Amino acid sequence: MNGKIVELTGNTLTIEQVVETIRHGNSISLNENSLARCRASRKVLDDKIAEGQVIYGVNTSFGPMCNKIIHIEEIERLQINLIRSHAAGLGDLFPEEIARATLLIRLNTLVKGYSGVRIELLEFMAKMFNAGVSPVIPSQGSVGASGDLIHLAHLGLGFIGEGTLICNGEEKPAAEVLASVGLEPFHLSYKEGLAIMNGTSAMTACACFALYDSQQLLTASIATASFAMEIFGGIDDAFDPDLHGLKPHPGQVAIAEAVENMIAGSKNITFRHEVHDAVRKDEQSGVVYETETTVQDVYSLRCTPQILAPVYETIRYNRTVIECEMNSSNDNPLIIPEKNKIIHGGNFHGQSISFAMDSLRIAISTLCNLSERRLNKLLDRNLNEGLPENLIPENAGLTMGFMGSQYLATSTTAENRQLASPMSVNTISSNESNQDVVSMGTVSARLALRSVENAKHVITLEFLADLQALTFRHSGGLGEGTGKVYAKASKEYVQYNNERVFRNDLLKFRKLLFETDLLG
């Protein structure tokens, strides 16, 4: 862990804090005011139990068996049985950064102070996180209705010293890993197993990283759109602020402004008056004459602001959804210490995250559609306005240039179109029909992560094609923004001539685009 500490209050965690805490190895601490509410919440629960009140999941069983009342002597064993029975996930494991984010977000939810858990559990979770111990969470299982039950059961399994945990990159038996960092398996009290499991923290962790990386994708898409304008000498008025003021969707205005800033000062852009002059030079007698001059650019250039507008707006809106969820109390029942009451409800339901991730996958698919068409324009000799076919420097036929790599963009764009199908409408009743309407939010968020990773492939390939095209023309007169990006990128790029494996370029520039400040 590094020296930076993020304080968890239950109310102020941001997407950037989650991602940076995980990726940069930040430590966490627990806010004292929040802990005071946690103590008050636990006291209310203790008092209600002492009074003999019936409280779901504390002295009752779960789901459709909630009418089975559990004897006071067995209510702690009930929590262990819940975790063991629901640790039933399969499939690939969550990436470690998603698993750690799940732990972080769950802790932030519990420290909010309405779940009735003891301070000892919160401190245990914080120590485990700060020691670099990661839960082992299978990716498949939950329906996102009573929260991420399966995923979070695997989280809780590590707490009690069962299953496995990861430390220093090695997966080992949980009790062994805990002992190596000076921790003992945690003994759960009543309500605590349920509080760990009954929430949306796994889907929110996936959504958090999907949204963060989507913002990077949008930035990269603006850059590649701007390079396309430079390479093809795009006509300037498609980005005129007066045009977008007449259809002022916030995303449309923002994207147009961003591209304008990138190409400002360019010597490659075509101005509308130049189009008029060129057409007049082609004038011939007769009713109709044809000009070789482009009067309007294709949609993948000209309509970039309109196409990316809802992508921008979806990302912006989804930020509010995800940050609301990660700072919410989303288990059941919840305790309001200020009012001395316990409320049974359904804050564990993941419909908001499910909708958000459905819309994000549609947005990312749209971004891919745009990128793939611009790539095709660069490679197709019938469309690329004089560039070499497939951007081949020499010996076309003997060498293939970008021909093979285009299949990567085509196939992943097609896959993302399939992934854009909504999950939030695919409810299937389960749990003896107690969970009769479920969100599938965890599935939706997992698919969003996959969609984002696919989109990175497409954008990386388009960016490489831009760099290759600029080795043939227009690299000397770039705009302010495009010039800065090209100055950095061109130091890393050598014209592709079939003398190296293309995948190596893809790996290198994918990392440069999404793990450095190349576009910053």
> Of 31, 108, 101, 98, which is closest to residue 327 (Cα–Cα)?
108
Q: What is the pLDDT of residue 428?
A: 83
For the beta carbon of residue 142, count every other beta carbon within 10 angstroms: 30
Q: Is residue 434 pLDDT above 80, yes or no?
A: no
Q: Is residue 432 pLDDT above 80, yes or no?
A: no
Q: What is the pLDDT of residue 277?
A: 87
Q: How confident is the model at residue 1 (pLDDT cuts 50, 70, 90)?
A: low
Give the burial string for 503-512 (b: 16+ CB within 10 Å, else e).
eebbeebbeb
Q: Is residue 108 pLDDT above 80, yes or no?
A: yes
CB 443 within 8 A of CB 206: no
Average pLDDT over the chain reads 95
The token pair that represents 64 in the structure block: 């459709």
- Is 114 marked active-site? no
Give the pLDDT mean for 37-65.
Answer: 91
Q: What is the pLDDT of residue 284?
A: 81
Q: Helix 119-130 crosses helix 149-159 at what angle (to 10 degrees)?
A: 90
The token pair that represents 221 in the structure block: 């898409």
Residue range 138-185, pLDDT digits in tens: 999 999 888 899 999 999 999 999 999 999 999 999 999 999 999 999
Residue range 178-220, pLDDT digits in tens: 999 999 999 999 999 999 999 999 999 999 999 999 999 999 9
Q: Is residue 2 pLDDT above 80, yes or no?
A: no
Catalytic residue among 56, 114, 190, 289: 56
CB 458 within 8 A of CB 368: yes
Strands (DSSP E) along 341-479, which ranges? 341-343
Question: Residue 118: helix, strand or coil by DSSP?
Answer: coil
Give the pLDDT mean for 467-485.
Answer: 97
Three-point CA angle 434, 439, 442, nearest 5°: 115
Give the pLDDT mean for 439-458.
Answer: 96
Give the pLDDT mean for 476-499.
Answer: 97
Q: Is residue 394 pLDDT above 70, yes or no?
A: yes
CB 204 within 8 A of CB 325: yes
Which residues make beta-bridge pairs with 7? 29
Range scoring the smallest mean pLDDT among 28-37, 164-173, 287-296, 445-454: 287-296
Which positions ≥6 away from 447 have C-beta within 8 Å? 357, 361, 419, 423
Output 277 or 446, whichever has higher pLDDT: 446
Share of the chain above pLDDT 70, in %: 99
Q: Is residue 446 pLDDT above 90, yes or no?
A: yes
Give the pLDDT mean for 4-10.
Answer: 95
Q: What is the pLDDT of residue 287?
A: 81
- Cα R_g (the chain), whole angstroms: 27
Q: What is the pLDDT of residue 282?
A: 76
Question: Residue 202: helix, strand or coil by DSSP?
Answer: helix
Which positions ≥6 away from 40 have C-beta within 8 Å? 113, 337, 338
First to last CA, the chain: 26
Q: How confident is the model at residue 226 (pLDDT cuts 50, 70, 90)?
A: very high
Give the pLDDT mean for 345-372.
Answer: 97
Which positions ≥6 away from 252 have C-beta within 8 Å? 244, 305, 306, 308, 309
Which positions ≥6 away from 353 have C-beta within 8 Å? 144, 200, 203, 204, 207, 321, 322, 325, 439, 441, 444, 445
Question: Would you report the helix, strand and coil content of the chain in percent, each value rounded to 5?
Answer: 55, 10, 35
Q: How confident is the model at residue 358 (pLDDT cuts 50, 70, 90)?
A: very high
Please indicate, yes or no, whether the overall pTM of this predicted structure exceeds 0.85.
Answer: yes
Q: What is the pLDDT of residue 186?
A: 98
Three-point CA angle 223, 228, 233, nearest 5°: 130
Domains of the chain: residue spans and CATH: 5-199 (1.10.275.10), 208-330+343-515 (1.20.200.10)
Residue range 276-324, pLDDT digits in tens: 888 888 788 778 888 888 888 899 999 999 999 999 999 999 999 999 9
Q: What is the pLDDT of residue 221?
A: 98
**In 233-249, where does DSSP find H-type helix?**
241-245
Three-point CA angle 327, 191, 104, nearest 5°: 35
- The per-residue DSSP string of 293-347 comes to S-SS--HHHHTHHHHHHHHHHHHHHHHHHHHHHHTS--SSSEEEGGGTEEE---T
Q: What is the pLDDT of residue 312?
A: 98
